[in-house]
Structure 1
Amino acid sequence: MKITTSAAPTLAALATALLLAAAPAAQASTGPGVAWQAAAADADIDRYFVRAKAEKKPVLLYWGAKWCPPCNQLKATLFNRADFIEQSKAFVAVGIDGDAPGAQKLGTRFKVRGYPTLILFNPNGSEITRLPGEADAAQVMKVLQLGLSSGRPVKAVLADARAGKKLSANEWRLLGFYGWETDEQQLLPAEQRPATLAQLAKASEGVDAETTSRLWLKSVGAMAEGKAADPAQLPRLRAVLADPVQAHAQMDVLTNEAPDLVKAFAPQPGDARNALVTEFDAALKRLNADATLSRADRLNALQGRVDLARLDTPRDDPNPKGIPAALLAEARDQAGRANREITDGYERQAVVTEAAHLLGSAGLWKDSDELLKSALARSHSPYYLMSQLGGNAKKQGRKADALHWYEEAFNKSEGPATRLQWGSNYFAALVELAPADTARIEKTAAQLFAEAEKDPGAFYERSERSLKKVATLLADWNKTPAQAAAVGRLKAQLDGVCGKLDAGDAKARSACQGLMKKA
């Protein structure tokens, strides 16, 4: 789990400001900040676009959820940020809470999946750019201002860049700081991104060094999906790691993609990899100690150090060997201090969940469990923490505890989309950990289908994926006569759900009928 927020704060931060404004879902914020408008259906969005066109203002659209840790960090850092509040006067700010009645349908309309996602549209409703939630706030504020001033869609900018046309430094920055992680193939098919980013990095040389480095790092990091990098480019990475200014500017990429970058340049264990890990660790250690960064960003740098320390440990191994005792002590110390010192509820929700993940990845499961349990009573979304407790127990082989916490998380979850998501997670745990408990499995699936029947957005976006997950698992689980009988009853129930859908909603009916075929 990567949560990238900075005290300055990260523009993942923008997202929470909008989320703050979007709650409650049916009302805009009336506080002394940005005049956010909440959208719960197509009609709301259409009304705001009409207004934007009349006022000749762009639209900034936010998609998020109450429980989302990065969104909560944003609430704690950006909402009262003076420069953003002032900048907001230049656009119509719209927040979509993922559990609002038509939110998942809007997600399909705008092709958004991950929380948080930020999209800037021009007054005519054309998408200008997707803002990078993981970057430093000051950087993203500049990108937002660039988008507001130019109004030129990043798709057109990318087409010109790929055609070899000359771009300004500002246009290169729009590409470098585009939200590639939330693109959902709007600009490029996923498989084309690494090569295209590498080409853009080459083409931008001599125009804006920071943008060039960002494009290049992304082309060889997580988006490259494990492909080896050109060894001749290794000095380039080392230069970024050794320079505190460059490392700070690329903080989010370095902390989030440390293992991918190391493996790209040193695919095999050995002296070369050890040397690069040492250099990388030194850069992350500086970021971890950087007081200009938020606690979440500093913890993320520490997480990167732990990820590197367990680089040769299988991802699913709950007990990594060889993590230095000093690093384990730092993980305990920083997680404990965060738990003691944070008083803001939103920041606590974000940082405690990150700290618990950090402790677990270091093999400190008891510390992770204790941290999460201590935070339950103070959390506005305790079901998120309960899910983590379930995950901790599952990784350690404690099946009964895992099922207890996953069930508790589902029972305590709130909002239609969230309940389907948490319910599908509980269902998956049941099928994996207690496949012989036919009655419990059938009861849980039946409850999810009953809730889907009451939710007009159940067959869109995240909710549809949750239900597809259940249907796919049912098909794989269906092996005995008793299981076949249960699946038959569930298919009959789902058939009734599909039959009650609006005849004019072809998308929902098709999705529902597709679930029946899967099951």
Structure 2
Amino acid sequence: MKTNASFSASLLVTLLVGTLAAPLAVALDKTASASAHAGQAGGIEWRKDNNVDAAFALAKSSNKPLFLYWGAVWCPPCNQVKATIFNRQEFIDKSRHFIPVYLDGDSPGAQKFAAQFKVRGYPTMILFKPDGTEITRLPGEVDSERYLQVLTLALNTSASVADSLKLALAGNKSLKQDDWSLLADYSWDDPQQKLVSNKDVPVTLLRLSELSPAGLNATRLYLKALFAAANARPGQSVPAIDKQQATERLIKSLADAKVARDNLDLVAGSAAELTEFLTVAKSEQRTKLTAAWNVALTKLADDNSISKTDRLSAIIAQIALTKLDGAKPSAALQKDVQKRVTQIEQGTSDAYERQSVVSSAAYALGNADLLDASDALLKAELKRSHSPYYFMSTLGSNAKKRGDKVGAVNWYEQAYNAAKGPATRLQWGSNYVVGLIDLTPTDDVRIEKAVSGVFAELAKTENAFYERNHAYLEKMGKKLGEWNKDGKHQATFRKVHAQLDSICAKLPANDGQKATCQTVLPKS
């Protein structure tokens, strides 16, 4: 979820920040280490004890807001946040005014806390009032300047975004511009957000854009409404939109350099989706809209004032636009992509930023049908990265694109073997099993071994059936059920089912995890 829309589909982000220093020390040079760890050495006083209840008690007794960061060591957008926001002196200064809690998805009890606070995608950042009421979910995809503006507004507000939403939808005229800004910059794309039912997000955003005073906030809400409608999931209500009118308004917004820059996360993250949603293939309207996107995206790709990852996102969006109607990237486009990607990647030395930049760079190359170049970049990064297993997964995806099934599952297996942390290993193990079933469905021996390995680790993991863990177990279980729907793999299925049953049986009857455990795999 937590990255630009074109990239997030390939993603979907091991201890608290104080314990990250040791395993990362090898990967960080002295300069990068000083920058990346500014918040640890005399900077941000992150709560490292994993005692979230105590942190909330401290927030209440000190009458300070609480800032909760939920992330993972490997996740590219999380590393982007560390490299561009958490190390800024402005953020460090602001942290004196709240209780900063750093919760890594692999830390003890993290997944249970995630269920409590409704956080799943990495990164998620929430600001709470001293009494524990959620003020807002901060956007993880905007640039650092906008992020700090949103954080400042959230720290100074007396109302939560939920309160402002109620007033806005009721037609209340007392809302200030700052209230509208927080509504416009809320993480509406977070499936775990609690403002409205997920099915109502597209309709709500469009209504807010109509109610908001004219200006940048109204434009941002409108763009978010279009994006939500274009990416509506099954069951979501899609508002009635005049697509020709929307296309004209979108072209006008893209032509405004300030609007495009202020909404770079949407401009760089939704080009292909919105173009496909609003226009007909090979129509004059699509040609005009695509041209407008490309002008705006080229400016963003060339803008040194924004992060390297955001510049790469603009390049990725241009590639996606080119391929929208089934065309292949031209030699000229491939040459331009290779040049831009190389310049950006070679200009990145910070270890955290590289995790984000190399991920986007490899994705851009792969999407431009430059798989060999993508592989070369990823393989070179394996020795430098603090989380090489993330790049091994991408190498597997590249092999899959080539039709190299054996190579793909071998990379998925390597990634699983190299993964660190209980939640991370469960995610990578689940992905490995899914990859095996998709690419080598007749290899019962290997599939059984992989599933058995995942379940063996599951049995040793405390709070194993919460939040992200639950989601990946569900995904793996559904895949196994589909694999055995005709009963051809019944022997293997029975073995792994028996293994899971024994894990479920050991859970206390009053433990909510027991019911979850029993639904991971279908009965037969």
TM-score (norm 2): 0.89
**1:375 maps onto 2:372 in alignment:** no
What is aligned with 1:198?
206
**Residues 202 and 228, structure 2, Cα contact 8 Å, conserved in 1:** no
1:145-164 mapped onto 2 (5 Å cutoff) = 145-164=152-171
Q: Structure 2 CA distance, aligned partners of 1:272 and 1:481?
A: 50
Measured at CA, do residues 418 and 93 of structure 1 come closer, stay the same or move farther in structure 2, by a change above 3 Å? same
What is aligned with 1:13?
none
Q: Structure 1 CA distance, aligned partners of 2:245 and 2:75?
A: 40
**Residues 65 and 99, structure 1, Cα contact 8 Å, conserved in 2:** yes
Q: Secondary structure at the match of 1:124?
A: coil
Q: Structure 2 CA distance, aligned partners of 1:339 and 1:246?
A: 27
1:346-361 mapped onto 2 (5 Å cutoff) = 346-361=352-367
What is aligned with 2:224?
218
What is aligned with 1:416?
422
**Residues 117 and 133, structure 1, Cα contact 8 Å, conserved in 2:** yes
Query: How far has the Cα of 1:468 moved from its partner?
Result: 1.6
Query: How far has the Cα of 1:232 moved from its partner?
Result: 2.2
**Residues 128 and 135, structure 2, Cα contact 8 Å, conserved in 1:** yes
What is aligned with 1:110?
117
What is aligned with 1:433?
439
Q: Structure 2 CA distance, aligned partners of 1:2 and 1:501?
A: 33
Q: Structure 2 CA distance, aligned partners of 1:471 and 1:3?
A: 27
Q: Structure 1 CA distance, aligned partners of 2:487 and 2:192?
A: 41
Q: Which amino acid aligns with 1:35?
A: E
Q: Structure 2 CA distance, aligned partners of 1:237 and 1:461?
A: 37
What is aligned with 2:28?
none
Q: Deviations over 1:298-344 (max 9, x none)?
A: 1111111111111112xxxxxx52x2333211211122223433222
**Residues 2 and 256, structure 1, Cα contact 8 Å, conserved in 2:** no
Query: How far has the Cα of 1:485 moved from its partner?
Result: 1.5
Q: Structure 2 CA distance, aligned partners of 1:440 and 1:361?
A: 30
1:40-59 mapped onto 2 (5 Å cutoff) = 40=50, 44-59=51-66
Measured at CA, do residues 503 and 282 of structure 1 come closer, stay the same or move farther in structure 2, by a change above 3 Å? same
Q: Which amino acid aligns with 2:299?
A: R
Query: How far has the Cα of 1:193 moved from its partner?
Result: 1.3
Measured at CA, do residues 89 and 360 of structure 1 come closer, stay the same or move farther in structure 2, by a change above 3 Å? same
What is aligned with 2:480?
474
What is aligned with 1:407?
413
1:235 is aligned, of 224, 243, 248, to: 248
**Residues 201 and 228, structure 2, Cα contact 8 Å, conserved in 1:** no
Q: Structure 2 CA distance, aligned partners of 1:451 and 1:380?
A: 22
Measured at CA, do residues 232 and 338 of structure 1 come closer, stay the same or move farther in structure 2, by a change above 3 Å? closer
**Residues 59 and 122, structure 1, Cα contact 8 Å, conserved in 2:** yes
Q: Deviations over 1:90-109 (max 9, x none)?
A: 10000110001111111111
**1:244 maps onto 2:257 in alignment:** yes
Q: Which amino acid aligns with 2:163?
A: A
Query: How far has the Cα of 1:290 moved from its partner?
Result: 0.8
- Structure 2: gaps of 5 or more residues: 5-12, 23-36, 233-237
What is aligned with 2:144?
137
Q: Secondary structure at the match of 1:78?
A: helix
Runs of 4+ more than 6 Å apart: none
Q: Deviations over 1:24-54 (max 9, x none)?
A: 79xx9751211011353xxx11101110000
**1:31 maps onto 2:44 in alignment:** no
Worse overlay, 69-78 or 356-365: 69-78
**1:508 maps onto 2:508 in alignment:** no
The number of aligned residues is: 493
Q: Structure 2 CA distance, aligned partners of 1:223 and 1:518?
A: 37
Measured at CA, do residues 196 and 21 of structure 1 come closer, stay the same or move farther in structure 2, by a change above 3 Å? farther
What is aligned with 2:292?
279
Q: Structure 2 CA distance, aligned partners of 1:78 and 1:325?
A: 37
- Structure 1: gaps of 5 or more residues: 5-15, 314-319
Q: Which amino acid aligns with 2:342?
A: G
Q: Which amino acid aligns with 1:38?
A: K
Q: Structure 1 CA distance, aligned partners of 2:97 and 2:411?
A: 46
Measured at CA, do residues 403 and 258 of structure 1 come closer, stay the same or move farther in structure 2, by a change above 3 Å? same
What is aligned with 2:26?
none
Q: Which amino acid aligns with 2:315?
A: L
TM-score (norm 1): 0.90
Q: Which amino acid aligns with 1:47?
A: A
CA RMSD of aligned residues (A): 2.2
Q: Which amino acid aligns with 1:196?
A: T
Q: Which amino acid aligns with 2:20?
A: A
What is aligned with 1:177?
185
What is aligned with 2:277?
264
